[in-house]
């Protein structure tokens, strides 16, 4: 028994020793690598900068291709070249990106990253997807499409984002067809991917907002709203009466962002939707659209049983021209629910300075600020009683 304990201690000590040795070795290796990178950095960056500056000149870099390929045989210098080219993709004008993509193909960077997609390390594969997206080469389309069904969300996300940046409409539609057959990514990730598409966005939106997959459809409805695609208002409005709650919410959010009042009457009707989330989103959208037809319905919605609906209604009410006139009527009424939520918005989000400005312009008795102060004082007295 004592020998077993002794052997266990010795074994554990050996493991600790080798782990310590490995960490020291790794630290030394990283230091050497950093020094080597620093040594080559300025020279390689200047060379790549000069090469990219001459992209507009026809056949300007053909003589340099073999030289760059030889330079890239060194792992550290290849990494510097790749980082510098990716930096330029973020700075260069869109009409020059095609030439820069061609350069990446010619010097073998695209081919190198496509080979890395077969790496067993998930993080390396995800990074390769990311870099291929930056290079925007259509040669990477099929290898990236093959990775969309991958069980790793990191790989799936980066493959889709890369396809979005490449901007090929057919490939992008195919990627979402493949995605609908697998476990999808989060809504936030998918909206980011949709927003990042660099091809014909209008065509993609018109196609995918009508997807049979309700989740994907709602993603692209929201993305269209983010980009304020006014040409899609009629398409988006079709989903205001959808039986799917998420689609109704997506349509309301999109129309609110776009700010078009064409369908304000239908949005007003949704203040009575059976789902409180839809009622709350409808109230918010009406405040973004700022149509005076929404004033009375929003006053009515101040009495909704759900706090979020009341709050959004109050906030939207004071955002629309003529809304403060309605607020005065509410504060002179008997609905405490409505008064309390109005007070909450006026005292916090809206600001008392704007109330003072309103009273100076309105110049009618009773003043709005007096009504507010009287009601607050009354509530305090009741609380103390």
Tokens 């999808």 — which residue? 184
**φ, ψ dihedrals at 72, nearest 5°:** -75, -5
- Mean pLDDT, the chain, rounded, equals 88
pLDDT at residue 5, as a whole number: 65
Separation of alpha carbons 245 and 279, rounded Å: 11
Q: Of 164 and 376, which is predicted with more confidence?
A: 164
- Binned at pLDDT 50, 70 and 90, residue 28 comes out as low
What secondary structure letter does DSSP report for 154?
H
Lowest model confidence (mean pLDDT) among 41-55, 118-132, 147-161: 41-55
Per-residue pLDDT at 52 exceeds 90: no
Q: Which two tokens stand for residue 201?
A: 């966005």
The answer to whether residue 38 sits within a structural domain is no
**Which CATH number characterizes residue 92's domain?**
1.25.10.10
Q: Measured between alpha carbons, how far is 168 from 174 in angstroms, rounded to an integer?
A: 10
- Closest Cα to residue 45, out of 8, 3, 11, 76? 76
- What does the pLDDT read at residue 36? 66
Rounded to two decimals, the pTM is 0.81
CA distance 247 to 239: 6
Where does residue 152 fall: left (phi above 0), alpha (psi -120 to 50 degrees), or beta otherwise? Answer: beta
Flag whether 223 is in a domain. Answer: no
Query: What is the tally of structural domains in the chain?
Result: 1
C-alpha dist (Å) from residue 250 to 157, 258, 269, 285, 290: 22, 12, 16, 11, 19
Please tell me the predicted confidence (pLDDT) of residue 90: 87
Q: What is the reported pLDDT for 25?
A: 66
- Asked if residue 372 belongs to a domain, the reply is no
Residue 110 falls inside a structural domain: yes
Which pair of structure tokens corresponds to residue 211? 């997807």
Average pLDDT over residues 82-102: 88
What is the average per-residue pLDDT within 280-287? Answer: 97
Measured distance between the N- and C-terminal CA atoms of the chain, rounded to whole angstroms: 77
Report d(CA 344, CA 362) in Å as an integer: 22
| Contact criterion met (CB below 8 Å) for 339 and 330 | yes
* Band (280; pLDDT cuts 50, 70, 90): very high
- Residue 46: exposure state from Cβ atoms within 10 A (0-12, 13-18, ≥19): exposed
The parent domain of residue 174 ranges over: 69-183
Q: How much of the chain exceeds pLDDT 70, in percent?
A: 92
Q: Of 11-20, 106-115, 232-241, 327-336, which range is least confident?
A: 11-20
Dist CA 97 CA 233 (whole Å): 32
Whole-angstrom distance, CA of residue 192 vs CA of residue 176: 14
**Average pLDDT rounded to a whole number, residues 272-295:** 96
DSSP per-residue codes, 237-253: HGGGG-SSHHHHHHHHH
Residue 26 has pLDDT above 70, yes or no: no
Element (H, E) at 39: helix 2-53
Contact 160, 194 (CB under 8 A): no
Name which residue leads in pLDDT, 139 or 331: 139
Does 219 reside within a domain? no
pLDDT at res. 129:
97
For residue 207, tell me if it sits in a domain: no
In tens, the pLDDT along 224-234 reads 999 998 999 99
CA dist 162 and 160 (Å) reads 5
**Closest to 171 (Cα-Cα) out of 133, 218, 134:** 133
């Amino acid at each position: 028994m004592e020998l077993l304990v002794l052997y266990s201690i010795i074994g554990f000590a050996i493991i600790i020793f080798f782990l310590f040795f490995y960490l020291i070795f790794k630290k030394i290796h990283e230091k050497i690598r950093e020094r080597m990178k620093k040594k080559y950095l300025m020279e390689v960056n200047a060379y790549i900068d000069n090469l990219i500056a001459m992209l507009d000149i026809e056949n300007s870099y053909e003589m340099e291709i073999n030289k760059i390929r030889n330079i890239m045989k060194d792992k550290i210098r290849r990494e510097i070249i790749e980082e510098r080219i990716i930096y330029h993709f973020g700075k260069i004008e869109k009409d020059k990106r095609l030439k820069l993509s061609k350069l990446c193909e010619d010097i073998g960077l695209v081919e190198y990253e496509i080979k890395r997609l077969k790496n067993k390390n998930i993080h390396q594969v995800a990074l390769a997807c990311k870099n291929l997206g930056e290079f925007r080469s259509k040669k990477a389309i099929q290898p990236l499409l093959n990775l969309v069904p991958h069980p790793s969300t990191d790989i799936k996300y980066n493959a889709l984002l890369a396809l979005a940046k490449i901007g090929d409409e057919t490939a992008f539609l195919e990627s979402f067809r493949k995605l609908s057959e697998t476990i999808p990514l989060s809504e936030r990730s998918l909206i980011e991917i949709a927003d990042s598409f660099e091809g014909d966005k209008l065509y993609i939106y018109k196609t995918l907002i009508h997807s049979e997959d309700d989740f994907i459809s709602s993603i692209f409805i929201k993305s269209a709203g983010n980009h304020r695609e006014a040409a899609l208002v009629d398409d988006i409005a079709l989903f205001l009466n959808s039986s799917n709650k998420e689609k109704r919410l997506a349509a309301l959010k999109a129309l609110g962002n776009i700010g078009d009042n064409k369908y304000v009457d239908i949005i007003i009707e949704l203040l009575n939707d059976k789902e409180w989330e839809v009622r709350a989103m409808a109230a918010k959208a009406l405040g973004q659209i700022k149509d005076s037809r929404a004033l009375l319905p929003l006053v009515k919605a101040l009495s909704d049983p759900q706090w979020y609906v009341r709050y959004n209604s109050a906030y939207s009410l004071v955002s629309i021209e003529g809304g403060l006139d309605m607020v005065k009527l509410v504060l002179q009424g008997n609905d405490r629910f409505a008064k309390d939520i109005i007070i909450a918005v006026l005292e916090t989000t809206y600001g008392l300075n704007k109330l003072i400005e309103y009273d100076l312009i309105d110049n009618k008795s009773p003043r709005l600020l007096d009504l507010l102060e009287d009601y607050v004082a009354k509530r305090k007295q009741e609380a103390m009683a």
